[in-house]
Amino acid sequence: MFLDFFYTLRSLKVPVSVTEWMTLMEALAKGHAKSSLTNFYFMARAILIKSETFYDQYDQAFAHVFREAALPPDIRQEILDWLADPLNRMALSEEDLEKIKRLDLDELREELEKRLAEQTERHDGGRRWVGTGGTSPFGHSGSHPGGIRIGGTGGGGHAMQIAAARRFQNYRTDVTLDVRQIKVALKKLRQFVREGPEDELDIERTIDKTCREAGEIELVFTRERKNTVKVLLLMDSGGSMSPYSRLVSRLFSAAHQMSHFRDFKGLYFHNCVYQDLYKDIYNNEAEPTASLLKSLSGDYKVILVGDAYMAPSELFSVGGAIDYYYHNDAPGMEWLKRIADHFRYCVWLNPLPERAWIHPTIRTVGSVFPMFPLTVDGLENAVKKLMVRR
Amino acid sequence: MSPKFDRFTGTDKYIVSPALRDVVNVSISLGRPLLVKGEPGTGKTLLAHNIARGLGKEFLIWNVKSTTKAKDGLYVYDTVQRLNDSRFGTGDVRDIKRYIHLGQLGRSFTAPERVVLLIDEIDKADLEFPNDLLNELDEMSFYIPETDETIEATHRPIVVITSNSEKELPDAFLRRCVFHYIEFPEVELMKDIVHVHFPNLEKKLLKEVLARFYWLREIDGFRKKPSTSELLDWIAALIAGGIEPERVAKELPFAGALIKKEQDIEVLQAAMERSSGRGVLRNRF
């Protein structure tokens, strides 16, 4: 009954499980809907949807199934997602990148919206409309070098990858790394040491002592166990990182909310670490890296977050920093090595999926710091790595 | 319609929207916990109080704090008391049961008749807290190893859980709940709500107050928007202060009852200067 509704919800990425569906069936069997669509609407929503953030999708699905309204065409969203993903651009050759500059992304997007709106029928061939073949930048099997393929299979091999986004399915599920999952992973980052006043009852030793005293109660107190883990989070805020800014800010807020660290510091850098790190990326409030290395002891656990994707000169040259007005006396690589030498526990989290770690600078950075992808598994492995000495 | 289960229809002190009323009844009938979210001050906790009142049931509250463990709600084994008794011979130490104290959840299971249990602000507790309660809420039973006893609910309690979304709740937990998000009441519903609390409120004052209040809620940039409970406090203050409706319209007396944060007061001042008077407001009501 209403199975369509169930699958429509699922296709809109609403997390509905069979358990909830069976509950709904039970409620229906008990006659709670009172044969009224409105009652059914609220009842089904209460049982199936567990967060107000999904109410909108629920409304769409409900309207679609029960009033036969049209679902918004999600192909458009897929295209926009695809456009927003810098990975797709990385996969292009230099030559294509040069050509794509003729149409920058926003233009491309606007143009696509416009043409989708203007076009009213299926279109194959030709140079302008969205369809198949041809040299329009949109559609599939075409040969416009900077074009976007929409569904279908590849033609001349010149068109950019698949707008239908199937290739990046795995990658998309990785984005579900939410604050809770990050917190659960970071929770493992702990190291208990007893310190402070002796004000906690040590049950084991109290029992032992009492038994030795033949039942005469002897209370033994001990110091409270406290987590001594100190964390330093260094985040790349460079331009190539902006698609991941939400992911990184989730990591930051989770780490910041973790009250069980003894100390937590979060600082930013731009593409690569040089002589300064920034407390706030907007007003350039800097903290010299050298003084950080002096003031923080080597037992800080350092988590660097960045795509490590930069021009080789940014990593290897004096004065190679991407910011024109910023001069670095030592190459970025030198600073990274200094950090790795000073802090015994370091990891690098990379939001790019592992198969994209082929760029030379990513490989080099990966040789200095153990590198993990910014996913649930990657974060867990990174935390494990942080607990053992390199 | 089966009349077998208890049916909640609201109380004289609590106005409930038809959607929420149906959801409450579904959750009671299915025997599943009702998870309520919503802006602070929309009456999440009061809902539970009034379900108990409306149905004439005993009401138990389990206030969750950041240090609360799931086991605390089931039972506590008072070892220290027992040790003490054994030493000074003040009680019958052989009977462990004397030292097992049931928590609020445990008490709701063993109550002679059906009770309403409120688990308030579940998101305050540790991340694992909801997971530790999965089985207990599902089966409505738990096992006490010390006495080799299984406590089973004779009457499944009506469980209401509130959350302020400070932490995300685990999926497995959510799957077992019926969920409702209490939206902020519309003007008409708000009139009813105010009427329940202040039956003798002047019509003119009510009109001015609500106009002012919904104007406030539309200002962007508040850290904490004024909510129903603040509106009720404000009206009480206005009545106590004997403020004329005209003054409410022109200025904002006792704004402290509505706006609680320093930054918000600045936002409010800026907004009042912008609107300078209330030409816009009059059109809305």
Contacts of B50 (CB under 8 A, 6+ apart): B10, B11, B13, B14, B16
Question: Scanning every residue of chain B, which has its alpha carbon at the shortest distance from the alpha carbon of A15?
Answer: B171
Q: Enter the tokens of residue A10.
A: 């699922």
Q: Give yes or no: residues A212 and A237 share one domain.
A: no
Chain B residues within 8 A of A55 when measuring between CB atoms: 181
Query: Do the Cβ atoms of B179 and A20 come within 8 Å?
Result: no
Q: Write out pLDDT tens, residues A65-114.
A: 776 544 544 445 555 555 555 555 555 555 555 555 555 555 655 665 66
Q: Give yes or no: residues A259 and A212 share one domain.
A: no
Chain A residues within 8 A of B39 when measuring between CB atoms: none
Q: Write out pLDDT tens, residues B237-250.
A: 888 888 888 887 77
Residue A17 near chain B (CB below 8 Å): yes
Q: Tally A–B CB contacts below 8 A.
A: 63
ipTM of the complex: 0.73
Q: Enter the tokens of residue A156.
A: 């001349």
Q: Give yes or no: residues A146 and A101 share one domain.
A: yes
Q: Enter the tokens of residue A167.
A: 């290739």
Other CB atoms within 10 A of residue B278 CB: 16
Q: Give yes or no: residues A13 and A87 share one domain.
A: no
Q: How many angstroms separate the CA of residue B180 from the nearest CA in chain A?
A: 6
Q: Give yes or no: residues A335 and A354 share one domain.
A: yes
| C-alpha torsion sign, points A194, A199, A204, A208 | positive
Chain B residues within 8 A of A23 when measuring between CB atoms: 30, 32, 178
CA A335, chain centre distance (Å): 26
Say which of B29, B37, B180 has its CB closest to residue A32.
Answer: B29
Q: Give yes or no: residues A184 and A203 share one domain.
A: no
Q: Give yes or no: residues A348 and A292 share one domain.
A: yes
Residue A36 near chain B (CB below 8 Å): no
Query: Do the Cβ atoms of B168 and A50 come within 8 Å?
Result: no
Residue A224's SS3 state is: strand
**Quick check: B214 pLDDT over 90?**
no
Q: End of a domain among A48, A66, A84?
A: A66
Q: Give yes or no: residues A138 and A219 share one domain.
A: no
- Torsion, Cα of A92, A97, A100, A102 (10° steps): -170
Q: End of a domain among A66, A98, A117?
A: A66
Expressed as residue numbers, the domain containing A11 is 3-66
pLDDT band at A178 (very low <50, low <70, confident <90, very high): low
Say which of A32, A52, A217 has its CB closest to residue B83.
Answer: A217
pLDDT band at B118 (very low <50, low <70, confident <90, very high): very high
Chain B residues within 8 A of A27 when measuring between CB atoms: 26, 29-30
- For residue B76, the cross-strand partners are B101
**Quick check: B34 pLDDT over 90?**
yes
Other CB atoms within 10 A of residue A38 CB: 12
Calpha distance A374→A371 (Å, rounded): 9
Residue identified by tokens 């569904």 is A151
Contact A33, A40 (CB under 8 A): yes
Residue identified by tokens 């991340």 is B127
- Strands B115-120, B158-162: pairing kind: parallel
Say which of A26, A34, A178 has its CB closest to residue B30.
Answer: A26
Q: Give yes or no: residues A123 and A21 share one domain.
A: no
pLDDT band at B36 (very low <50, low <70, confident <90, very high): very high
Query: Do the Cβ atoms of A43 and B30 come within 8 Å?
Result: no
Residue identified by tokens 């986004």 is A165
Largest CA distance in chain A: 98
Q: Give yes or no: residues A60 and A128 share one domain.
A: no
Query: Do the Cβ atoms of A34 and B1 come within 8 Å?
Result: yes
Say which of B26, B167, B177 has its CB closest to residue A27.
Answer: B26
Calpha distance A8→A350 (Å, rounded): 34
pLDDT band at B20 (very low <50, low <70, confident <90, very high): confident
Q: Enter the tokens of residue A273.
A: 């670490």
> What's the CATH number where A291 sits?
3.40.50
Angle in degrees, CA A215, A221, A223, rounded to 5: 155
Say which of A30, A42, A50 has its CB closest to residue B19.
Answer: A42
Calpha distance A199→A268 (Å, rounded): 40
Residue of A13, A22, A32 to mutate, interface with B, max B Cβ within 10 Å: A32
Mean pLDDT of B102-122: 91
pLDDT band at A10 (very low <50, low <70, confident <90, very high): confident
Structural domains of chain B, with CATH: 18-182 (3.40.50.300), 187-284 (no CATH)
Q: Give yes or no: residues A267 and A342 share one domain.
A: yes
Say which of A26, A34, A50 has its CB closest to residue B177.
Answer: A50
**Domains identified in chain A, total number:** 4
Q: Give yes or no: residues A239 and A373 share one domain.
A: yes
Radius of gyration of chain A from Cα atoms? 28
Contact A120, A131 (CB under 8 A): no
